[in-house]
Amino acid sequence: MVVRRAVVAAASAAALAVPLLISAPSSASPAPDAGLQPPPKQPVAVGSGGAVSSVNPYASRAGLDVLRHGGNAVDAAVATAAALGVVEPYSAGIGGGGYFVYYNARTGKVSTIDGRETAPAGMRSDSFLDPATGKPIPFDEAVNSGLSVGVPGTPATWQKALDEWGTVSLAKALRPATRIADDGFVVNGEFRAQTRLNEARFRDFTSTAELFLPGGELPVVGSRFRNPDLARTYRELARKGVGALYHGDIGLDVVKAVQHPPVAPGSHRAVRPGLMERGDLARYDALGQAPTHATYHGLDLYSMAPSSSGGTTVGEALNILENFDLSSADRVQALHHYLEASRLAFADRNRWVGDPAFSDVPTQELLSQEFAKDRACLIRSDAVLDSPVAPGDPRHPGAACTRGNGSEEPYEGTSTTHLVTADRWGNVVSYTLTIEQTGGSAITVPGRGFLLNNELTDFSFSPVTAGVPDPNLPGPGKRPRSSMSPTIVLHDGKPMIALGSPGGATIITTVLQTLVNRLDLGMTLPEAVDAPRISQRNRTATEAEPAFLDSPERTALERLGHRFVPAPTTFTPSPEIGAVAALEFRPDGKIEAVAEPKRRGGGSAMVLHEAR
């Protein structure tokens, strides 16, 4: 099967035929072209034959093109992800990692791939401590360094998914993304805003400035942005396979960039070299593993097991909520219980979840109904728990109702991206991938066109509580704890909803709140995605979007003792929480693809045969 160009509206096709405006790197900043138009995008699409939802119309179109030419949901997911590496390079790419959840319509089984980045063999529990003071190094120094770069897992995830469940080769799956990198995409306001957010640190690395600051300036909205280096890298992966990264020349260039970051002359930034060796790449393995499983209102929810904390934390919170009657008739109490369940689940997540290859993670116990019932006994309808709440002991749930003090969750980057796909045969993919915060480590591999992650900053830099083991300290070959929560919900063994989100630790609360909105508060899926978000993660204050801060629910919840603060904009252009991509499989046999209507500039939902 040959994967051809996606079929688009005539106006879009004509736009792509105009002469290229720039070639990155360029000697001058490009000017906008009024005749240049990106593919159309819409937040909701309903139809049949297959569907794709992501944050970007170029990426969704790439996945839909694969479906149109006979590919399945896995093929489409890899094509969409590769395209996101081109058009959303500050959120994802082959320099990062992620988690892949797959529903097989033939077997009715849900499987997952842990493609999380790993620490190099040279990393130790004190690698983020200053040897002179014994204290954690400044966070900014950790992020913008080779020290923060984990061994990438994304290429291995793509290959494993295609080998296990796909129908096309990696070379074919990469073709749409390679064309986008060659031909270019239209710069939008979000891309420019994210570049501006990272401008200072991008200028400190020669390869990054050359690529993302063409002519030394911010990319202009309406201009065409090309990445020929990434196109060449994708072609090399297509010819040689992912071994080109894990055993070949691409990997050699990655290691050079990590060990000797391309710091710009005159930069005053202290950039620490990394510990990665070629052997670390050669030892990397994307892990096939069983998903987490929880039930809610008779539905079966499948998500990622550790090293991600997404599946256990969303599942535990829902188990806690099942002890209460949440209803749209009392929205304030429903939101109150949602916040308290999230607070408790995060307390347990922070204490117990890490890489299961290095820690004894009580995954099944965290998801037990007995433990959730004991944790639920702490929740009162007329008061708020004092944060940080102490964790319970899932192996001895009888003591879970004891009050006490715990620790807040450590920092986790708020970028990342998510996609969902489905095909005509009923297979479904929910896939979250990342390079950590917006712009990753800010290090672009010279000549390769992609940014490296700063994923190792997800480790705890030092023990949070004296005397209590921390399962998330750095270690050789270890996967840092993640919050990515790609989720598939089944009803009577068939897919009902697939969803996920970017957002660091707020991924968990975004997925949880979207499910509560849809399953308890009577919202449609588009309404559930669009609703204002609030995120409680065992902190004294709950982060909230502006629309919620202006709502009457805020005042009512504050009377109960909740305290709200605006969602931060440290690493994002806007005070937003998450960016959901989701699918719902309707009783009439149609698929409803849903993306964000406004967050991150609005997402892109597409179906193969749209219903009129």
User: Cβ contacts of residue 114 below 8 Å, gap of 6+?
Assistant: 99, 153, 286, 287, 288, 289, 304, 305, 307, 308, 479
**pLDDT at 160 > cutoff 60:** yes
pLDDT (average), residues 125-137: 93
Q: Where are the beta strands (DSSP E) in 435-568?
A: 487-491, 494-500, 534-535, 542-544, 564-566
Q: Where are the beta strands (DSSP E) in 379-502?
A: 417-423, 428-434, 487-491, 494-500
Active-site annotation holder among 157, 292, 416, 506: 416
**pLDDT at 313 > cutoff 50:** yes
pLDDT one-digit tens code per residue, 484-526: 999 999 999 999 999 999 999 999 999 999 999 999 999 999 9
pLDDT of residue 549: 97
Percent pLDDT > 90 in the chain is 86
Burial (CB < 10 A; 0-12, 13-18, 19+), residue 157, is buried
**Tokens matching residue 148:** 């923060």
**Could you tell me how far CA 336 lies from the centroid of its own chain?**
26
pLDDT of residue 37: 83
pLDDT of residue 153: 98
**pLDDT at 567 > cutoff 90:** yes
Higher pLDDT, 416 or 446: 446
Taking the C-alpha atoms of 69, 71, 72 and 74 in order, what is their torsion angle to the nearest 10 degrees? -130
**pLDDT at 156 > cutoff 60:** yes
pLDDT of residue 573: 74
**pLDDT at 431 > cutoff 50:** yes
pLDDT one-digit tens code per residue, 221-232: 999 999 999 999
What 3 state SS string does 267-283 have? CCCCCCCCCCCHHHHHC
**pLDDT at 42 > cutoff 60:** yes
C-alpha distance across the termini of the chain, in Å: 29
pLDDT one-digit tens code per residue, 300-309: 999 999 999 9
pLDDT (average), residues 559-564: 97
**pLDDT at 411 > cutoff 90:** no
- Asked which of 35-44, 320-329, 455-464, 564-573 is least confident by mean pLDDT, the reply is 564-573
In the structure, what pLDDT confidence band is assigned to residue 58 with cuts at 50, 70 and 90? very high
Domains plus CATH for the chain?
10-118+137-287+414-458 (no CATH), 291-413+479-575 (1.10.246.130)
**Could you tell me how far CA 122 lies from the centroid of its own chain?**
27
pLDDT one-digit tens code per residue, 350-361: 999 999 999 999
Percent pLDDT > 70 in the chain is 91
- Give, for 582, the enclosing helix (H) or strand (E): strand 581-585
Give one DSSP letter per residue of 411-434, joined into a string. P-----EEEEEEETTS-EEEEEEE
pLDDT of residue 16: 31
Classify 120 in phi/psi space as left (phi over 0), alpha (psi -120 to 50) or beta: beta
pLDDT of residue 572: 72
pLDDT one-digit tens code per residue, 168-222: 999 999 999 999 999 999 999 999 999 999 999 999 999 999 999 999 999 999 9
**pLDDT at 20 > cutoff 80:** no
Distance CA 497, CA 515 (A): 9
Nearest residue to 608 (alpha-carbon basis) of 593, 586, 598: 593
* Average pLDDT for the chain: 92
pLDDT of residue 381: 95
pLDDT one-digit tens code per residue, 71-120: 999 999 999 999 999 999 999 999 999 999 999 999 999 999 999 999 99
DSSP H stretches of helix in 89-227: 139-143, 154-165, 170-183, 189-202, 206-212
pLDDT (average), residues 228-254: 98
- Asked which of 9-23, 64-78, 134-148, 414-428 is least confident by mean pLDDT, the reply is 9-23
Distance CA 102, CA 45 (A): 22
Does the pTM surpass 0.85? The reply is: yes
pLDDT of residue 409: 56
CA distances for 57 relative to 106, 188, 219, 581, angstroms: 30, 12, 19, 12
416 is catalytic: yes
pLDDT of residue 397: 81
- Asked which of 40-44, 242-246, 406-410, 436-440 is least confident by mean pLDDT, the reply is 406-410
**pLDDT at 7 > cutoff 70:** no
In the structure, what pLDDT confidence band is assigned to residue 469 with cuts at 50, 70 and 90? confident
pLDDT of residue 30: 65
